Structure 1
Amino acid sequence: MGRRISGRVTAIYFCLLLVSTTVHSFYLPGVAPRDFQRGDELQVKVNKLSSTKTQLPYDFYYLKYCKPKKIMNVAENLGEVLRGDRIENSIYTVSMHHNATWCLMKCPHLLGSLKHTHTHTSGLLCVYVGTGVQILVMTLVTMMFALLGFLSPSNRGGLMTAMVLLWVFMGLFAGYSSARLYKMFKGTEWKRNTLKTAFMFPGILFAVFFVLNALIWGEKSSGAVPFGTMFALVCLWFGISVPLVFVGSYLGFKKPAIEDPVKTNKIPRQIAEQAWYMKPMFSILIGGILPFGAVFIELFFILTSIWLNQFYYIFGFLFIVFVILIITCAEITIVLCYFQLCSEDYHWWWRAYLTAGSSALYLFLYSIFYFFTKLEITKLVSGILYFGYMLIASYAFFVLTGTIGFCACFWFVRKIYSSVKID
């Protein structure tokens, strides 16, 4: 067309609240109220294409995309005609069903938000989601054992041993989850995806741990992990965890691909200019505050037990805090994802992960505060060890909370779009 035109469709917002079998009402400013009964067909209308560069509106079907066989103009009022609005019919319709609790819709363009980013999302997201599921299951099982008294604090090292062994055997869940998501993205290099799932996160942790352990060796401290133990960890990793990741990946790829609940557009739509408070960086940083607040108090006692050589006994309360953390991560991510979709930004995949995962940043910042206010470490190597191990803990916390947020958001988006019935 010789100029850049951003498609701007008059947004149709509505929230349907169905109590029992009766549809009460909803109101869209600027549109005359109408009554609808259960089973009635809702006609989705489109408006115009406009550009802030040219100030010249164009007919919505000027680009000849999703054009119905017969175009019918529907003038709502004189003011819309004078403003250059062209209300026309769309090929999309929506039926109101009795079993729908509510739905979200913004004309056809948001229906594409479910799948537009499939081709723009790398396999890295699948790897991190699979690893996060592995950490989540390991943490839940460990806490259940501790809650039932199988991992008494008096048994030194029992908790850490259980976590390592459970991590190794939970590789099955990592491979399965990563493969299921990767297949939904229509990925073809499943072996590479499986290798990344098996080696990326534990490889980073092992590298940092090896460097820190070398520093301890240099100080001739008894806290250094012996070579034999390091070799045993590598054997557990390569001998059990990696094969289980491949088994889980094989089982995941054998399953049918997860299908989208609605048909989506093949061509990504241009994203509208976002308000400052909907910018990715701001919303991501805001989203991490509440999950961190859920564990803030308990974090003090955990750090005290680790760095001040105190025993930690209250696993029951810790389990409750962990459940609250899961709920908080899910809720804040869903709310911010809803606002993001309402602002016509469909790139929600990574943002959902980072929104909850940003709580790890606050955890690391708190560890810095704790270091300078509660500890009396003066030796350089000891300080490096502290921040090195807290970096590992923050990284694991990022993968855990990010996966929780992503899974909750993934369920939410599929739920709301499965309520939209497209004819």
Structure 2
Amino acid sequence: MWILFLILHVHSYFLPGVAPKSYEQGHKLNLYVNKLDSSKTQLPFDYYYLHYCKPHHVSAQSENIGQTLTGDTIETSPYQISMGQVKRCEVLCTQTNRRSHIRTFKWMIDNEYKASWLLDNLPAGFRQTTNSNDQRTKTKISYYQDGFPIGFRDGRDFFINNHHHIVIKIHPNSKDEDKWKIVGFLVEPLSLLNTPEKLGCNTPEFLSHEFGEAKWNETIMTPDERLSGSFPTRISTLPAQNLDLPGSNITYTYSVIFEESDVKWADRWDYYLYMTGESGEVHWLSIVNSFAMVLFLTGMVAHIFRRIIKKDISTYNEKDDIDPEGESGWKQVKGDIFRPPVYGSIFSIIIGSGVQVIGMAILTLLFACIGFLTPANRGALVTAMLILYVFMGAGAGYTSSRLYKFFGGDFWKRNAFGTAFFFPGICFLVFFIVNLFILGEESSGAVPFTSLLELLILWFGISVPLVFLGSAIGFRKNRIDHPCKINKIPKPIEIIPGSFKINAICVMAGSLPFGCMFIELSYVMKSLWHHTLFYYLFGFLFLCFVVLVITSAEVSILMTYIILCREDYRWWWASFGVAGSSGIYLFLYSFIYFMTDLTFNRFSSVIIYFGYMFLTSVAYALITGTIGFFATFIFIRNIYSNIKVS
């Protein structure tokens, strides 16, 4: 009864952190400008980098560190919009373009730059109106993707989209019919020639085009049909605004309409995150194929455990007099199996760094699956990854020091220092070099000095102390016991024919952890390097991560067992390298993706792409390699603890 009583008083809230907001008739709507970006250059620019109309006072909205790192600047705009008030032809301002302004406009039009706006936290989609064969019917093509073209090119002529037809989709509030919720935001950019005598948006042709009473059909294009190329945005019967008029005045205008929609507020992101049935089938097919791979590997591992190893252990333990010379296979190296590897300190540092990345990845995926890191929370994903990585430093230090002490190391502070600076140092170095190239392009994606200082504070002020704290706690723990006594003199390793083939097979086995993520990786790459798309399928990604963990573990166990059967006890680096080599495949895939799907035309864009893909590949190798090592370590301890030790 008490539980039922409490249920009656439960109140729900929207997890992503954006509460629904209702607007009364005439309520002012704040339209914010975001940035200018292009998939061809990967260089974002501040919206007012172009000679656009500005409000009297430009103020930036509050930003998190994720938005700063991605150049996601949100600023106020001069557009005056009120709920329910239709505007047919409003003058925004008149600007005089100098030759430098014209060159910048042309360069951005050639590089397919798109403008990003925000209204009620919704990104501005792109709408086109096309005439069908029946002149009385128009088709409105809506792209619910982030950004719309700033202009277009026709031969040698460049035209600027100086008119913006703003479409706001609204849904009535269920509790108050006098209030409305915004469920869609589209912009139809047009190039209209405006003269002091006549505005293009005041002509009958324009009014008929946008406000006519002809029937129209809306066709929604999916994210798979990505915007590319130059889009002529003009009305065929009206002259367009040519850019090649230095010193002339360009008048910017806009119009606003409101369309009632059946879409509810809770579903308003569905169009932006639209997934076709075919695309959904591909995702599920990839999951099924990955699980089939897991079942195959699990069957092989189970066969080794149940048939081969169990039989070997039983036979070995049943012998009263064990003849060392008569032993063969993995049992022959029991006295050297836990001998510390070469460069044991470096190995422990790498494993500790892998634990830090794994902890960050798991928690990030969990928060994303719950709904905290949706695209509605701009910059939240990058911010969460950064903060979680910093606080996972304690786990990295603890793991690294425990392993370092297991290897017989004494200088735990030096080991902690290496753990605190190994992977973060690589990331900061690559990031700093990339940032220098972005800074040279005058892009808003360049991270300012204050943000770099924030990163250093997070690194030196939080992450490093946590790594040392974890290392101190881990080093004070008792040393991990060896199931087998280590021989004083290492057993000579015989050179067996076919060693090169085994090494090649180990590297090829790294393709399996990469293969289970391949299909989902293509969607992630599209959202990363094509700025009109949003990635939101974190549920699929989490399932793929589970498959990745299982595959990495089983591949490392299988290949390590083969190595041990050849009486080679140098399994430490091999257990990491087998699954960790999948990072090499990821980096090679980035080259293929660069050649087939991207059209970068600037050297700085290439540096940005390969710099960040290198860091992604290293992180991927750390995740898979660390998982492979721990699985193999548990496997080896189990099998050698079950045999008699003479």
TM tier, smaller: 0.7 to 0.9
- The corresponding residue for 2:572 is 349
Measured after TM superposition, the shift of residue 121 of structure 1 is: 3.6
> What residue is the counterpart of 1:316 in the other structure?
539
Alignment match of 1:158 (pick from 358, 367, 380): 380
Instruction: Check the 8 A contact 1:283/1:355 in 2, yes or no.
Output: no
Cα distance, 1:379–1:335 mapped onto 2, change above 3 Å? same
Q: Is the 8 A contact 1:278 1:340 kept in 2?
A: no
Query: Is 2:579 aligned against 1:359?
Result: no
User: Which piece of structure 1 moves more, 195-204 or 36-45?
Assistant: 36-45
Say if 1:339 and 1:119 are closer, same or farther in 2 by CA, change over 3 A. Answer: closer
How big is the shift at 1:45?
1.9
455, 480, 486: which one aligns with 1:264 = 486
Conserved 8 A contact 2:353-2:419: yes
Aligned to 1:373: 596
Which is further off, 280-289 or 329-338?
280-289
Instruction: Return the alpha-carbon distance in structure 2 between the equivalents of residues 175 and 416 of structure 1.
Output: 28
Matched, 1:394 2:627: no
Q: Tell me how far apart the structure 2 counterparts of residues 384 and 170 of structure 1 sit (CA, whole Å).
A: 29
Tell me the CA shift for residue 110 of structure 1: 1.1
Task: Tell me the CA shift for residue 25 of structure 1.
Answer: 7.2
**Rounded Cα–Cα distance in structure 1 between residues aligned with 2:305 and 2:442:** 68
Pair 1:218-2:440 in alignment: yes
Q: Are 1:330 and 2:608 matched, yes or no?
A: no
Counterpart secondary structure, 1:113: coil
- Aligned amino acid, residue 268 of structure 1: P
Secondary structure of the residue that 2:481 maps to in structure 1? coil
Whether the aligned pair in 2 keeps the contact of 1:194 and 1:245 (CA below 8 Å) is yes
1:13-412 paired onto structure 2 within 5 Å: 40-47=318-325, 106-107=330-331, 109-116=332-339, 118=340, 120-276=342-498, 281-309=503-531, 310-412=533-635
Distance (Å, rounded) in 2 between the aligned partners of 1:39 and 1:207:
54
Give the whole-Å Cα distance in 1 for the aligned partners of 2:606 and 2:311: 62
162-171 or 374-383, which moves further after superposition?
Answer: 374-383
Structure 1 distance, partners of 2:341, 2:453, is 40
Gapped regions of structure 2 (runs ≥ 5): 1-303
5+ residue gaps, structure 1, are 1-14, 19-23, 28-35, 48-86, 91-103
CA shift in 2, pair 1:216/1:38, >3 Å: closer
Kindly tell me the number of residue pairs found equivalent between the two proteins.
340
Larger helix percent: 1
Q: Go from structure 1 to structure 2 and tell me whether the alpha carbon gap of 1:279 and 1:122 turns closer, same or farther (over 3 Å shift).
A: farther
Give the distance between the partners of 2:563 and 2:543, measured in 1 at CA: 30
* 110 and 179 in structure 1: CA distance in 2 versus 1, 3 angstrom threshold: same
Which one has more relative contact order, counting CA pairs under 8 Å at least 6 apart?
1
Other structure's SS at 1:413 match = helix
Contact 1:277 1:283 in 2 (8 A): no
| Post-superposition offset of 1:273 | 1.6
Query: Following the alignment from structure 1 to structure 2, what is the Cα–Cα distance between the partners of residues 357 and 327?
Result: 14
Deviations 1:286-306 (A, max 9, x none): 121100101111110001000
Question: Take 2:311 and 2:338, find their aligned partners in 1: how far apart are those partners?
Answer: 31
Kept in 1, the 8 Å contact 2:579–2:624? The answer is: yes
Note closer, same or farther for the CA distance 1:38–1:114 as it changes in structure 2 (3 Å cut). Answer: closer
Equivalent in the alignment of 2:298 = none
Code of the residue aligned with 2:491 in structure 1: it is R
TM-score (norm 1): 0.76
Paired residue type of 2:444: S
Q: Deviations over 1:62-106 (max 9, x none)?
A: xxxxxxxxxxxxxxxxxxxxxxxxx7xx9xxxxxxxxxxxxx965
The 1-side partners of 2:486 and 2:555 are apart by 26
The 8 Å contact of residues 280 and 351 in structure 1, kept in 2 or not, is answered as: no
Distance in 1 (alpha carbons) for counterparts of 2:395 and 2:506: 27
Shift of 1:119: 5.7
Q: Distance in 2 between matches of 1:285 and 1:400?
A: 16
Provide the C-alpha distance between the structure 1 equivalents of 2:367 and 2:488, rounded to a whole number of angstroms: 48
* Structure 2 letter corresponding to 1:332: V
Contact (CA 8 Å) 1:153, 1:313: kept in 2 or not?
yes
Shift in alpha-carbon separation, 1:194–1:182, aligned structure 2, 3 A:
same
CA distance in 1, matches of 2:341, 2:600: 49
Which whole-Å CA distance do the structure 2 matches of 1:344 and 1:41 have between them? Answer: 21
The question of whether the paired residues in 1 share the 8 Å contact of 2:344 and 2:404 is answered with: no
Letter in 2 for 1:355: V
Which amino acid counterpart does residue 431 of structure 2 have in structure 1? Answer: F
Offset of residue 41 of structure 1: 4.4
Q: 2: CA distance between counterparts of 1:25 and 1:246? A: 45
Moved more, 412-421 or 277-286: 277-286
SS at match of 1:225: coil
Q: Which residue of 2 aligns with 1:96?
A: none
Partner of residue 71, structure 1 = none
Q: Which structure has the highest strand share of the two?
A: 2
Q: What is the deviation of 1:37?
A: 9.8
Percent identity for Structure 1 against Structure 2:
47
Give the equivalent residue in structure 2 for 1:30: none
Give the match for residue 419 of structure 1.
642
Task: Judge conservation of contact 1:16–1:26 (CA < 8 Å) in 2.
Answer: no
Report the Cα offset of residue 279 of structure 1: 5.2
Partners of 1:289 and 1:211 lie apart in 2 by 30
Shift in CA distance, 207/16, structure 1 to aligned 2, threshold 3 Å = closer
AA paired with 1:225? V
Distance in 1 between residues matched to 2:424 and 2:464, nearest whole Å: 10
- Alignment CA distance shift 1:39-1:381 (3 Å): closer
1:249 Cα offset (Å): 0.4
- Whether the aligned pair in 1 keeps the contact of 2:317 and 2:644 (CA below 8 Å) is no
1:308-345 deviations in whole A, cap 9, x for unaligned?
02101110010000010010000000000000000011
Q: Match for 1:406: what amino acid?
A: F
- Contact kept in structure 1, 2:338 and 2:484, CA below 8 Å: no
Give yes or no for contact 1:292–1:363 (8 Å, CA) kept in 2.
Answer: yes
